[in-house]
Each structure stands twice: as structure tokens, then as C-alpha cells.
Amino acid sequence: MLRVDEAQAPVEFSPALISKFDDIVSRYPQGKQKSALLPILHLVQAEFGWVSPNAMDKVAEYLHIQHIEVYEVASFYSMYFLRPQGKFVLEVCRTGPCCLVGAEKIMDYIEEKLGVKEGEVTTDGLFSWRGVECLAACGFGPVLQIGPEYTFYENLTPGSVDTLIAELKAKGHN
Amino acid sequence: MARKLLLEHINVSGINTFDVYRSKGGYASVEKALKTMSPDDVVEEVKKSGLRGRGGAGFPTGMKWSFLAKPEGVARYLVCNADESEPGTFKDRYLMTYLPHLLIEGMIVSSFALGAKTSYIYVRGEMMPQIRILERAIAEAKNAGFLGKNILGTGYDLELYVQPGGGAYICGEETALLESLEGKRGNPRIKPPFPAIAGLYGCPTVVNNVESIAAVVPIINEGGDEYTKIGIGRSTGTKLISAGGNIKNPGVFEIELGLPVEEFLYSDEYCGGIANGKRLKAVVAGGSSVPILPANLFLKTINNEPRLMSYESLADGGFVSGTMMGSGGFIAFDEDQCIVRNTWNFTRFYHHESCGQCSPCREGTGWMEKVLHRLEHGHGKMSDMDLLVDVSKKIEGNTICPLGDAAAWPVASAIRHFRDEFEWHVTNPSEATSRNYGLAHYADPLPKKEEPVA
């Protein structure tokens, strides 16, 4: 369940963000602006770290569509976070080919290292992690990605996970 | 050396930039097509080439194009399917990362052939780095006059956009992809009408895989007849294979169709053999949804003929003893891998990715996942194998889109070929997760075919 203060967090789209929305809408024929929904939700998530109910309502108003049309899309696609996450979300591929080369051990290691279970946020608010389905990098597993840029980290080992987490910590505290 | 039609210049430094790509002969097919050919000529060349869709279904691309309805005054669309998410497949990511201009060149020629004025490349959302690469490449091409209004002074206009998905395997199904591109949930549409009649925004639309679009470039440059000289039978041209799992050299390889699988798997030019001195146990040849084969049946057909990397040879034996080319996602399993665990893993994937529209798929994938989970963890029953086959049969063919089939085939084939390993999980519950059944007899030579009695 979302906490009340999270659910009601006020959302304001900056003029810079709105102009990005406008640019996306211009890609589609007149009247087909709903096509911009997925790209716009990505921009919203990049800006706020998740897609909150208020943000979804605002997107609906911007696109002149019903609120439910945004909710049903945001809840269908796995990339949109419908609740707040850590600043860095480590998304580890858990599908077959990556498991053949040790993805399960890497997930166990990340869980132990961060001290939180899948989907939980560390107390400093910096990290959460989850297993995700095939990331189409099966030759270079185990792999993980970190949004909003979706940078890829391939051929993971406990050592490379240590380095990555240390780097992110340094970045996160700045 | 095998001929490379797509990856010829992959190692040229800066090939991802317009100038270097152009200096290597890039965009020649756009000049040739727009200046010397009619759209129908382009379609005809692609038909002649015998190119088959590289996304997995293997339907002839030229034929798909010729189905496109062309009513007066209605827009037509070309949409590139770059929603690569079939487990084992990573060739399109590779192509877009290193050769973005090859895809854009192919999109221009293909859009011209179909009479599309606006085209979209639908890229899975997780591939944000590739989306940035493509957007930069599109800007470069536009700057050089290959996109936009009046391309190369020929009067042909084309706008090309990149659309991110949201993380859903189902959007690789073409009608789900179109729904998603329209800003909706990725629920596949009931066909007919096919996209060629009513696709994006209800307009005639062609959806093609990244590699299919890229292959149009050499086909136009060298001619469809030339393309058919590569390959074997109805498997013409070259194919990108993304090879992963327990092999020495994982990566993307361009092969001439018809290459013996043994050479592909063991030669240093390709996979380089099994890693860490282990032996091959099983192979998934074309992405997670195609039937898994034990090593012996993979290397040789049931008639003891060497198997080839071609649509026909991989399918030799049907689902009894063959598999499919699929998307070219090649996954090798060494002797330490557990088939039950892997089947459970794949089924969890399909359960997670089922859109939920059709109950056989929505419920059936979940049941199969539960049964496989209990088998893998030592709580299974002997009757579970038949139960799984029964559920898989009731999903297969009973859903709007092929995701149901894709979920059913890996389970049915794993039980068909590895039933003893499933049974071992039931009879040895305490060892089910701690020890592996091992290589067993799966790599042994096939039993000699009995000579018919005269």
C-alpha cells in the first residue's frame, strides 16, 4: 500500500518537461496524441523517480484522455514504478540464459550486500533491487540495468557488483 | 570465410556515425531505390530474394509487403519491431548499437517501397541507450538529406521516429506492438483484420523485425537473385545468430544459412565449443519458445544426418525430434545444467509476460509454473509430467496470439526429451535442488535406425 503522503505528493511539470512532451506529441498524426503516453511516462519517471497517482492524473489532463487510460497503461508495463523506489534501482535479469551463467548467485549477493529484500528500499533511500525478465543481453550475463538512463552492466561478478555499489554510493551522497 | 552482408563493416571505427558509414558505401541502396526504381520494383526484389522474417515466424517479407492494402487517400505505415525480448536473443540490440545507420537505411528503402510517409521504430523501453543512438543517427541522416522532405531531390518525403516501449514481451507480437504504439496496453488484436489492412490507427501497416529491415539493404544493392545464391533451399541469405549460455565465445554471429550446426557450435569462428571443458547437454536453437533438444538430436536429425542452421533442417523431424530457427537466439546448456529448473524459469517468464487476455494462457502459464516449481524443489508427483503436457496442449492453439504456443512448446518438449530427468526429481526429492541429474545419455549417439525388412 502507498502511504497517504506518498499518494498525495504534489506534482508540478516544469515548462522544460512540458516542452519535451510537446515534442513527442508532434510525432503522431493529429488527434493521435495518446501515442505519446508511454514515452511521456518514461520522462515523468526519470524526473520524479516513480509514477505517482497525481502524476498520472496530470499526464491524462495533458493528453486529453481519461485518467483510467493512464492507470491501465502504467500498471501493464513492467518498467513503470507505481511506488517510490531507491534512488538507484538495480534491475537484474533473472531469465534462463543469464541463470545458466550465475544470475541467481548475483541476486543473492546483491540482496546480502544491500541488506534488503527484492522490492524494498535501503534505509538511506539510495538502493532498491529486483529481478526482471530477459534484457536481451544473453551473451553477456549476468547483467543488470539502472534507470533512468538504463545503463547496462554486463558479465557481473561479486567484485564488479562491489565496485558498482561503491560508485553509486559516492554518487548518491553528492 | 563466410560472406557478411550485414556485419561486413562492424569493426570499422566510427561506423556508427553517418560520415564513416557513408564512406563505406552506406545509403547507396537509398540512392538506387529512390532514383532508379519504382516502389513495386523494390517489393519485387525483396520477393525474389526469398528473405524470410527474421523476428521468429519466418514469413516471407516480400509476400508480407505485397499484402499491404493501398486505398486512395489513406496513410500507410511501416513499423519496425525492435522490441527484442525473446530470451536468448540479442542480435537486434547489437545491430542498433553498432550499425544504427544500417537500420535507418533499410527503413528508408522499405518505407519507399510501401509508400509510407511516416515510419516508426518501436524499441523496447529498456534499450534507452539504443534509442539515444538511433535518434542521433536519424538526426545525422536527416541533416544529410536522406530523411525529411524531398529526399535526394526525388520528391519522396519520409519522417522516421523512435518509440520506446514500456517493458512487455508481448509487444513483440505485431498487433500488441501496434496497440502499444497507440498508447494502450499491449493486448494482441484478434486477426483478421491483419495489420496489412487495418494496422496502426486503423491504416494499412507493415511490421518488420530489425534484421529483416536491415537485410533489405544488401538485397537492393546486389539484387534479389544475388541474395538467393547464399543459403540453402528456401533458407536464403545470411542470418544473425545470438549465441549464449555455456559456450566459449558468446556473441552475435552472421552465418550463411545452411552452416552445419556442429561447425557453428564447435568452430572458433563461431561459438568455440562448450566453456570450461564441459560437454553439451541440450540446445535451445531459436529463442526460449522453440522446442529444446538434447545434444544428440540437435547435432543430428533422427535420420542421422548432420543438422544445418537453416529453417528446414532445424525443423526436421517436426516437434517430435526437431525444433525451429525462431529468432536465432541460440542457448547452449552444458552438463551441469538442470532442465527442470530451466523449464520452470522459462515458464515463469511466460507467466509474467502473458497479457492476461485469454484464460488458457493467463491461467495455464501460472499452473505450469506452479507445477514446475514443485517438481524442481522436490515436491513433485509422478503424475505431474502428464499434467504439464495436458495443460500445455490446452494452451496451444487456443489463444489470440502465439504467446500461448510459445509458453507451451518449451514445457512439452522438455518433458518429451528429458522425461527421465523430471522423474528423477520426483524419486530423489532430497537431491532435487542440491545435485544435478547431469549429462545422462543425452549426448550419446542416436540409436541406429532399423533397416526396413525387405
Picking from B334, B365, B380, the residue at the C-terminal end of a domain is B334
Is A78 in the B-facing interface, judged by CB distances under 8 Å? yes
- A 10 A CB-CB count for A170 gives 9
Cβ of A99 within 8 Å of Cβ of B169? The answer is: no
What is the per-residue pLDDT across B191-227, written as a single tens digit (0 to 9) for each? 999 999 999 999 999 999 999 999 999 999 999 999 9
Q: Which residues of B touch A51 (CB under 8 A)?
A: none
CATH for B357: 1.20.1440.230
Read off the pLDDT of each residue in B248-256 and give the average, rounded to a whole number.
97
- The confidence score (pLDDT) of residue B248 equals 96
Q: Which residues of B touch A37 (CB under 8 A)?
A: 183
| Percentage above 70 pLDDT, chain B | 98
Cβ B237 vs Cβ B231: under 8 Å? yes
Q: Which fold has domain A88-173?
A: Glutaredoxin (3.40.30)
Pick from B274, B276, B295: nearest CA to B284: B295
Is A23 in the B-facing interface, judged by CB distances under 8 Å? no
Mean pLDDT of chain B: 95
Residue B354 lies inside a defined structural domain of this protein: yes
Q: Which residues of B touch A94 (CB under 8 A)?
A: 345
Residue of A nearest to B83 (CA): A136
Pick from B188, B106, B182, B176: nearest CA to B147: B106
Picking from B316, B334, B352, the residue at the C-terminal end of a domain is B334
| Separation of alpha carbons B61 and B206, rounded Å | 10
- The confidence score (pLDDT) of residue B434 equals 83
Angle at A77 between CA B80 and CA B362, to 5 degrees: 100
- The confidence score (pLDDT) of residue B339 equals 96
- The confidence score (pLDDT) of residue B422 equals 96
| Separation of alpha carbons A32 and B183, rounded Å | 9
Pick from B168, B151, B195: nearest CA to B33: B151
- The confidence score (pLDDT) of residue B443 equals 86
In this model, does residue B453 exceed pLDDT 70? no
Read off the pLDDT of each residue in B66-83 and give the average, rounded to a whole number.
96
Is A100 in the B-facing interface, judged by CB distances under 8 Å? yes
Looking at the fold, whether B147 and B107 belong to one and the same domain comes out as yes
Is A150 in the B-facing interface, judged by CB distances under 8 Å? yes
> Is B59 exposed, middle or buried, given 0-12, 13-18 or 19+ CB atoms closer than 10 A?
exposed
For residue A121, the 8-state DSSP code is: B
Is A108 in the B-facing interface, judged by CB distances under 8 Å? no
* DSSP notation for B102-171: HHHHHHHHHHHHHT-SEEEEEE-TT-HHHHHHHHHHHHHHHHTTSSBSSGGGSS--BEEEEEE--S-GGG
> Is B194 exposed, middle or buried, given 0-12, 13-18 or 19+ CB atoms closer than 10 A?
middle
In this model, does residue B450 exceed pLDDT 70? no
- The confidence score (pLDDT) of residue B444 equals 84
Is A141 in the B-facing interface, judged by CB distances under 8 Å? yes
Pick from B176, B330, B207, B195: nearest CA to B261: B330
Interface test with A, best of B90, B142, B365 (most A CBs within 10 A): B90
Read off the pLDDT of each residue in B417-438 and give the average, rounded to a whole number.
92
Picking from B334, B354, B383, the residue at the C-terminal end of a domain is B334
Residue of A nearest to B160 (CA): A27
Residue B444 lies inside a defined structural domain of this protein: no
Looking at the fold, whether B362 and B421 belong to one and the same domain comes out as yes
Is A64 in the B-facing interface, judged by CB distances under 8 Å? no
Cβ B180 vs Cβ B166: under 8 Å? yes
Question: Which residue's C-alpha cell is 488458457?
Answer: B360
Question: Which residue's C-alpha cell is 545422462?
Answer: B440
What is the per-residue pLDDT across B322-360, written as a single tens digit (0 to 9) for each? 999 999 999 999 999 999 999 999 999 999 999 999 999
Ranges A69-73, B149-153, B279-283, B445-449: which has the least confidence = B445-449
B194 Cβ neighbours under 8 A, 6+ residues apart: B67
Q: Which residues of B touch A62 (CB under 8 A)?
A: none
Looking at the fold, whether B100 and B131 belong to one and the same domain comes out as yes
Average pLDDT per 10 consecutive residues for chain A, totaling 174 residues: 76 97 97 98 96 96 98 97 95 95 96 96 95 94 94 96 96 82
Q: Which residue has the higher pLDDT, B137 or B440?
A: B137
Residue A76 has its nearest CB partner, among B124, B185, B250, at B185
Q: Phi-psi region for residue B339, left (φ > 0), alpha (ψ -120 to 50) or beta?
A: alpha
| Separation of alpha carbons B77 and B58, rounded Å | 21
What is the per-residue pLDDT across A27-38, written as a single tens digit (0 to 9) for each? 999 999 999 999
In this model, does residue B413 exceed pLDDT 90? yes
Question: Which residue's C-alpha cell is 509422478?
Answer: B382
B383 Cβ neighbours under 8 A, 6+ residues apart: none
Cβ of B125 within 8 Å of Cβ of A140? The answer is: no
What is the per-residue pLDDT across B296-313, written as a single tens digit (0 to 9) for each? 999 999 999 999 999 999
pLDDT bin (cut points 50, 70, 90) of residue B436 is confident
Cβ B299 vs Cβ B271: under 8 Å? no
Residue ranges covered by each domain of chain A: 4-76, 88-173
Cβ of B126 within 8 Å of Cβ of A79? The answer is: yes
Read off the pLDDT of each residue in B423-452 and give the average, rounded to a whole number.
84
| Separation of alpha carbons B194 and B342, rounded Å | 35
- The confidence score (pLDDT) of residue B449 equals 62
Residue B185 lies inside a defined structural domain of this protein: yes
Residue B422 lies inside a defined structural domain of this protein: yes
| Separation of alpha carbons B406 and B360, rounded Å | 13
Cβ of A139 within 8 Å of Cβ of B250? The answer is: yes
Q: Which residues of A touch B185 (CB under 8 A)?
A: 72-73, 76
Residue of B nearest to A81 (CA): B166
- The confidence score (pLDDT) of residue A1 equals 63
Looking at the fold, whether B198 and B56 belong to one and the same domain comes out as yes
Q: Which three cell numbers stand for residue B266?
A: 564447435
What is the per-residue pLDDT across B5-54, written as a single tens digit (0 to 9) for each? 999 999 999 999 999 999 999 999 999 999 999 999 999 999 999 999 99
Looking at the fold, whether B83 and B164 belong to one and the same domain comes out as yes
Q: What is the enclosing helix (H) or strand (E) of B231?
A: strand B231-232
Pick from B11, B113, B6, B13: nearest CA to B61: B113
Alpha-helical (H) ranges within chain A are 4-7, 15-25, 37-48, 53-63, 67-76, 96-100, 103-114, 158-173
In this model, does residue B1 exceed pLDDT 80? no
Q: Among positive and negative, which fits the CA dihedral B367, B368, B371, B372?
A: negative
Q: Which residues of B touch A77 (CB under 8 A)?
A: 125, 165-168, 186
**Amino acid making up residue A119:** G
Q: How many domains does chain B have?
A: 3
pLDDT bin (cut points 50, 70, 90) of residue B452 is low
| Separation of alpha carbons B435 and B23, rounded Å | 56
- Could you tell me which residues are beta bridge partners of residue B148? B158
Q: Which fold has domain A4-76?
A: Arc Repressor Mutant, subunit A (1.10.10)
Looking at the fold, whether B208 and B257 belong to one and the same domain comes out as no
Residue A77 has its nearest CB partner, among B88, B166, B333, at B166
pLDDT bin (cut points 50, 70, 90) of residue B454 is low
Q: What is the extent of the structural domain holding B404? A: 339-431
CATH for B284: 3.10.20.600
| Separation of alpha carbons B416 and B408, rounded Å | 12
